[in-house]
Amino acid sequence: MDEHTSTENNRSTAWWRSPRGRMGLAVVAIALVLGILQLTNHSSTEMTMLSVPSSLSQNTGEVRRRLQQAGVSQFEYANGQVQVPKEFAEAAGAALQSEESSDLHWADEWEAANSKLGHFSGSREREAAREIARARQICRMLNQMTGIAKAEVVWDEDKTVGWNRESKSRATVYLKPDPGSEITPEIIRSVRSAVAGCKGNLSANDVIVMDLDRRITYEATTDEPLKRQQDQQRDERSAIYRRRIEQLLQHVDGIRVGVFIDDVPFHAAVEHPWADPIDHLTARLPGQAPPMPDLSEIGSLPSLRADRNSKTKDAKSAAHLLGLNQAMAELVHVHLAVPEEFYLRKQEMRTGSDGNSFELIERDVNSQLLKRVKGALPDQGPTPEVVIDLIPGERIASAPVAEAVSSLDPLRDPSALYPLCGVGLVFIALGWAIVAARRNNYDDVDLQAMEEAAPHDPQLHINPLEFLVTSRFSDWLPALMMESSETLARTVCVLPSQHVSELMACLPADVQIDILQLAARQSPPTTRQLEAIAHRLKSEAEVPTFSSHGRFHRNTHPANAQ
């Protein structure tokens, strides 16, 4: 019973020990690991959506730099909003909302430049290092201005010529605005004043500002004080209009508003108080004392009043006939930059109706924005110019982040196919292993049935080794000589020494060496192999002694009859 149980266990574990079984186990293990990894990588991740400040909405490089400094390695940014994992939401929000400050202050910049100088450096080297540090600091501060993508400052200095002449400096500032922004006159005046205050012997009139986008150079004029006052008043009105428009369009996320005013000639049939030259000379200004009484009223000059009335009537009649009282009026320019995401959301909201293309949605939205903008601008004067541009959506990501999904739906999320393929691969490998094991088991059963069906002597199954080493070994010797070298080597492994000596005495010397070498390399024969050898020896015991290979032709002792 125990022998039968051990035989069954050997048959059940034979497939796992075979090369095919080991390969199947390796395939199953690899498929299982891949499936687990796919499920882990594509599992639903809880994400948090954060709003990016308007000052950074168009500066994708700054958004990426701040998130990386905060330790956020996985994020997805698009159209003024950034999506980060929930555990990094607090750090990302703090990094985006923090006020940007200079990495190096002026003292730090100068200290770094001075540390590079040697002990024997002269005053020229130190002055040059100071100028370089000052230029770097000015460029760094200008780059932090809202709406400025890049700023560079280049200046030069005229050395003093003569005793009474001071040195004079001049500078050029190159500004590149952010997408959707413009270099306004207010920015130009601020930059001029800031650069002039950072360098000695440099006046704001000697600072030239160049807009790299529009390739326009802004220079100072001779009437700078009066023009500066007028520009300041226009900038104040522009700021008022801009705040009004931003309040009306606050429902548009990420919109950028630019407003500037120009003075243009305006022809209107409007009578002004100073249309008549005489009225202009005698007009009363606010705060002025009342005029002296007219002499014609007291009878001194009776003809003066009549002449004046006739001239006034003629002048007014001429103005009415011409209808062209030319004056300078303010033309308001408004530039709107609307993110593409706003149009896409409007298009998604109108998916119920047919024929709503993106161009149609864009035209409809722009008309609505135009109505709101004109409501915040003055009604009189030239018609305001409103330009609406589209900011294309831009996506950046240091590492792709899978969006959180409620279920593995391949139609909504194609990435769900990857874990499903991994699970399917695991089941296929397991099924292949089970089929291969069952097939190997069927082969063992068929082989066992064939061996059981083969005719053999029941006496041989008792102990085949005892059958070979009986006193009738000399009878088996002629039949044993007909076996192959492998069979002789197996037999030598189990025979007693006296029978081995008797067998070797019947073989040539070279054959003896070959058989001994084979016996040393082979493992001991199994019971089944011994049964096969014993069965052949019993059936061939009466066969005359000769070798089928022609190697062992010799005369041996005749078989003893038992």
Quote the number of domains for the chain.
Answer: 5
SS3 549: coil
How many Cα neighbours within 13 Å face the side chain of 437?
17
Contact call for residues 374 and 386 (beta carbons, < 8 A): yes
Check residue 165 and give its pLDDT: 66
Q: Tell me if 202 sits within 8 A of 170, measured CB to CB.
A: yes
How far apart (Å, rounded) are the C-alpha atoms in residues 534 and 476? 9
pLDDT of the residue at 40: 58
- 375: amino acid identity, one letter: G
Task: Specify the residue for token string 């882990």.
Answer: 40
Same-domain check for residues 206 and 272: no
Q: In angstroms, how far is CA 257 from the centroid of its own chain?
A: 29
Block residue for tokens 């190997």:
440
d(C-alpha 80, C-alpha 41), whole Å: 27
126 and 146 housed in the same domain = yes
Counting residues of the chain whose pLDDT is more than 70, the rounded percentage is 53
Place of tokens 């200008």: 142
Asked if 346 and 432 sit in the same domain, the reply is no
Whether residues 177 and 127 fall in one domain? yes
Q: Measured between alpha carbons, how far is 233 from 185 in angstroms, rounded to an integer?
A: 11
SS3 106: helix
Q: Is residue 508 part of a domain?
A: yes
For residue 267, the 8-state DSSP code is E
Tokens of 239: 């700021």
Give the CATH number for residue 505.
1.10.220
Cβ contacts of residue 221 below 8 Å, gap of 6+?
227
For the cut 70, the answer to whether the pLDDT of residue 334 exceeds it is yes
C-alpha 137/C-alpha 143 separation (Å) is 10
Q: What is the pLDDT of residues 249-300, one digit of tens each?
A: 888 888 888 888 887 776 544 444 334 444 433 444 444 455 555 444 444 4
Dist CA 146 CA 238 (whole Å): 17
The answer to whether residue 57 sits within a structural domain is yes
Tell me phi and psi for residue 249, to 5 degrees: -110, 30
Query: How far apart are alpha carbons 149 and 164 in whole angstroms?
Result: 42
Cβ–Cβ < 8 Å for 384, 370: no
The answer to the question of residue 17 being in a domain is yes
Q: Tell me how far apart the alpha carbons of residues 107 and 502 are, in angstroms, rounded to a whole number.
A: 107
Tokens of 129: 């290092």
Rounded to whole angstroms, the Cα distance separating 248 from 257 reads 11
When pLDDT is averaged across residues 34-51 and rounded to a whole number, the result is 65
**φ, ψ for residue 54 (rounded to 5)?**
-60, -30
Q: Are residues 269 and 210 in the same domain?
A: no
Q: Examine the pLDDT at 14 and tell me if it is beyond 50.
A: yes
DSSP 413-473: -GGGHHHHHHHHHHHHHHHHHHHHHHHHHHHHHHHHHHHHHS---GGGGT-HHHHHTSTTH
More confident residue, 411 or 109: 109
| Domain contains 385 | yes
Helix (H) / strand (E) containing 153: strand 148-158
423 & 325 share domain: no
Name the residue among 442, 430, 447 with its Cα closest to residue 12: 442
Residue 469 reports pLDDT greater than 80: no
pLDDT of residue 324: 42
For residue 59, give its domain range.
47-97
Residue 547 has pLDDT above 70, yes or no: no
Q: Is residue 242 part of a domain?
A: no
Is 179 among the domain residues?
Answer: yes
Task: Tell me, yes or no, whether 271 and 383 share the same domain.
Answer: yes
Distance CA 183, CA 212 (A): 10
Q: How many other CB atoms are there within 10 angstroms of residue 523's CB atom?
A: 7
Of 390, 57, 381, 54, nearest to 237 by C-alpha is 381
Could you tell me if residue 300 is inside a domain? Answer: no
Residues pairing with 386 in the sheet: 334
Three-state DSSP class for 271?
coil
Query: Is 556 inside any structural domain?
Result: no
Q: What is the pLDDT of residues 508-536, one digit of tens each?
A: 777 777 777 777 777 777 767 777 777 77
Q: How buried is residue 516: exposed, middle or buried, by Cβ count under 10 Å (0-12/13-18/19+)?
A: middle
**Residue 180 Ramachandran class (φ > 0 left, ψ -120 to 50 alpha, else beta):** left
For residues 378-407, give the mean pLDDT.
Answer: 63
Whether residue 78 is found in the same domain as residue 51: yes
pLDDT, mean of residues 375-388: 82
Task: Give the Cα separation of 556 and 507 in Å (integer).
Answer: 11
66 with 37, same domain?
A: no
Which of 51-60, 406-415, 482-491 bottoms out in mean pLDDT, i.e. has the lowest?
406-415
Cα radius of gyration rounded to whole Å, the chain = 52
Residues 264 and 365 in one domain: yes
* One-letter amino acid of 17: R
Residue 41, C-beta contacts closer than 8 angstroms, at least 6 positions apart: 402, 418
Residue 68 to residue 398: CA distance in whole angstroms: 9
The two three-digit tokens of residue 491, written as one number? 């037999």
pLDDT band at 51 (very low <50, low <70, confident <90, very high): confident
Would you call 278 helix, strand, or coil by DSSP?
A: helix
Residue with tokens 């008797």: 502
| Mean pLDDT for the chain overall | 68
* pTM of the full structure: 0.34
DSSP 205: G
Q: Of 392, 409, 430, which residue is a domain's last?
A: 392
The span from the CA of 303 to the CA of 309, in Å, is: 10
Instruction: Give the percent of the chain with pLDDT over 90.
Output: 0
- pLDDT-based confidence at 322, cuts 50/70/90? very low
Sheet of strand 325-339: strand arrangement:
256-268, 325-339, 385-391
Q: How confident is the model at residue 112 (pLDDT cuts 50, 70, 90)?
A: low
Q: 445: burial class by Cβ within 10 Å (0-12, 13-18, 19+)?
A: exposed
Q: Check whether residue 386 and residue 263 sit in a common domain.
A: yes
Spatial distance between the Cα atoms of 557 and 477, rounded to a whole number of angstroms: 9
Task: Please list, in sequence order, all residues whose beta carbon lies within 8 angstroms of the beta carbon of residue 195, skipping any fewer than 6 positions away.
Answer: 138, 153, 155, 171, 173, 202, 204, 207
Say yes or no: 79 and 27 in one domain: no
